[in-house]
Amino acid sequence: MSIDKDLFKLKPIAYTTMADQVENHLREYIIKRSIKPGDPIPKETEIAQALGVSRNVVREALSRLRMLGMIESRKKRGMILTQPDVMKGLELIIHPTILDENVRKQLFELRLVLEVGLGDLLFRRKTEEHLKKLDAIVEREHKATTQIERIRCEVDFHSTLYEMAGNETLKRFQDILMPVFEYVVEYESKLDHTSVGSVTHADLVKILYSNNAEAYPNAMRKHLMPHLDHL
Amino acid sequence: MSIDKDLFKLKPIAYTTMADQVENHLREYIIKRSIKPGDPIPKETEIAQALGVSRNVVREALSRLRMLGMIESRKKRGMILTQPDVMKGLELIIHPTILDENVRKQLFELRLVLEVGLGDLLFRRKTEEHLKKLDAIVEREHKATTQIERIRCEVDFHSTLYEMAGNETLKRFQDILMPVFEYVVEYESKLDHTSVGSVTHADLVKILYSNNAEAYPNAMRKHLMPHLDHL
DNA sequence: TAGTTCAATATGTAATACTTAATAGAAATT
DNA sequence: AATTTCTATTAAGTATTACATATTGAACTA
């Protein structure tokens, strides 16, 4: 009685719930009608009736979009489309403890890639205040006595770079990724942070003071070399 | 009759719904109990009873986590935690038409940063096949007669670089971002793509064939210069 | 032992009712 | 007439109940 098994090869029928479908319908609706932030979208009951599903299902779909910051709802006023924070979705998922080792490693690589490539944004947007801030961090680092303090300087230094880049999305990206890297801290704590590689933080600042954008990428590469070698 | 306006400064009371609270509870629950992918989580009714809310509300919260790929549910079997795709959340939000101009620009900058910083991953993970693939693209590009074909080569070339980097998360990031850049295509179509800057695709391939990792970042910078200058 | 039937179970969906907050419009006050 | 206050309405938030559906595992049959 064994039935041809080939029939079942495709078995895992991508099962979509009503809520999934409603969600997709809403996305399409928003896109096709080119609804803009601030514009209202139909009432829950209207959607439910239009799609022939229970209000319950509609609410599940809306709840998802609301979580992503795509819509906001006020009682009576109904719901309006909002300009979502593009990095919101990332923030909702990324929590160090539920990420597997492999992904964390990939995110760390991503960070290295970003920092090496950051140069042009930095040179175009650096200000006196930023450079002074970096100076201060470098000095704090030199005076630091404890390892904890040194690591804090390390984090501050690199965070300041992202700030200097003047790209809100990029900064946000970094802020979200940051906690993931804490697992690296143990390893890092064994290194000398003022000069992770042969290029020190002070060296990097010096380059930033200059207008030599060409020098930046390879300087940062050398600074991060111990990490890069670890790939 | 004007009342002290300071009273209303904090007015926008961060209103959280029950679903929001349940969602947070679930996140905490998962983290604190360090539940791993594959492990089961409580039944809907159990959660509802434990938190003293209706099953409806619980389902909204679960629906959100399910969308992000954090949990999966099967009838009867209950729900299990899954290893989420970290980039899923990003994918759900990023749709070119609902992103405002400013954010799109920031994402484009992000792309430039990535490509300049990509070098070390490329040199560590390049294979003969990858290099051959790039060669083929360059050749196709030279032979191309239409602008459409040339743009396709441009996209293929840079996509292949991300592929070469051997970082699944990074590649996925790029794939998600890609559609956002289509708006740049119009502008790009006016440029000569074999040599966007003074450095051509062929030049980049030559560098990749060599083992001169130092040369890569500035070569890519020059290649992307027209875009960088546009910042 | 193998295969079938069947009950138990947990999610998915529907329907209904009620609560709550915000709004608009009517009514009342100045 | 202009402003404030009440009131009804509206739409989202929550709760409850009921039923559908698919999956599991145990009981049953051949």
Q: Which tokens go with A206? A: 């010096």
Enter the tokens of residue B153.
Answer: 């080569």
Contact B86 A63 (CB under 8 A): no
Token pair, residue A34, equals 């080119």
**B86 with A70: Cβ contact below 8 A:** no
User: For position B187, what pLDDT does the model report?
Assistant: 57
Instruction: Report the distance from CA of residue B82 to the C1' of nucleotide C20 in Å, as an integer.
Output: 37
CB of A226 within 8 A of CB of A196? yes
The CA distance from A203 to the nearest CA of chain B, in Å, is 18
Judge whether A107 and A180 are in contact, CB under 8 Å: yes
- Window 62-91 of chain A: CB closer than 7 A to strand D: 62, 73-79
Here the tokens at position B51 are 């938190």
DSSP letter for each residue of B65-119: HHHTTSEEEETTTEEEE----TTHHHHHH--GGGS-HHHHHHHHHHHHHHHHHTH
Looking at residue A106, its amino acid is Q
Tokens 């390892």: give the residue. Answer: A147
Residue A42 token pair:
């139909």
Whole-number Å distance, CA A1 to C1' C4?
A: 13
- Read off the tokens for B135: 């060669």
Residue B40 to residue B38: CA distance in whole angstroms: 6
Q: What angle do CA A217, A223, A226 make, to 5 degrees?
A: 120
- For residue B228, what are the contacts with CB-CB under 8 A and spacing of at least 6? A120, B112, B221
Distance of CA A46 to the CA centre of its chain: 36
Chain B's closest residue to A81, CA to CA, is B98
Rg (CA), chain B: 25
Based on the number of CB atoms within 10 Å of its own CB, is B16 exposed (0-12), middle (13-18) or buried (19 or more)? exposed
Q: What is the DSSP code string of B5-23?
A: GGGGTT-S-----HHHHHH
Per-residue pLDDT of chain B in tens (231 residues, 90 and over written 9):
333 444 444 445 568 999 999 999 999 999 999 998 999 999 999 999 999 999 999 999 999 999 999 999 988 888 999 988 999 999 999 987 788 889 999 999 999 999 999 999 999 999 999 999 999 999 999 999 888 888 889 999 999 999 999 999 999 999 999 988 876 665 555 555 554 558 999 999 999 999 899 999 999 999 998 888 777
pLDDT, tens digit only, all 231 positions of chain A? 333 444 434 444 568 999 999 999 999 999 999 898 989 999 999 999 999 999 999 999 999 999 999 999 988 888 899 988 999 999 999 987 788 889 999 999 999 999 999 999 999 999 999 999 999 999 999 999 888 888 889 999 999 999 999 999 999 999 999 988 876 665 555 555 554 558 999 999 999 999 899 999 999 999 998 888 877
Q: What's the CA A229/C1' C9 distance, rounded, in angstroms?
A: 54
Q: For residue B58, what pLDDT is reported?
A: 98
Can you list the domains of chain A with their CATH numbers? Answer: 18-81 (1.10.10.10), 89-229 (1.20.120)
Nearest CA-CA distance, residue A142 and chain B, Å: 28
Identify the DSSP state of B132: H
Q: Taking Cα atoms as reference points, which of A105, A109, A122, A132 lies closest to residue A224?
A: A109
Specify the DSSP class assigned to residue A14: -
Query: In this predicted model, what pLDDT tens digit does every residue of A93-118 receive, in sequence order?
Result: 998 778 888 999 999 999 999 999 99
Nearest CA in chain B to A36: B98
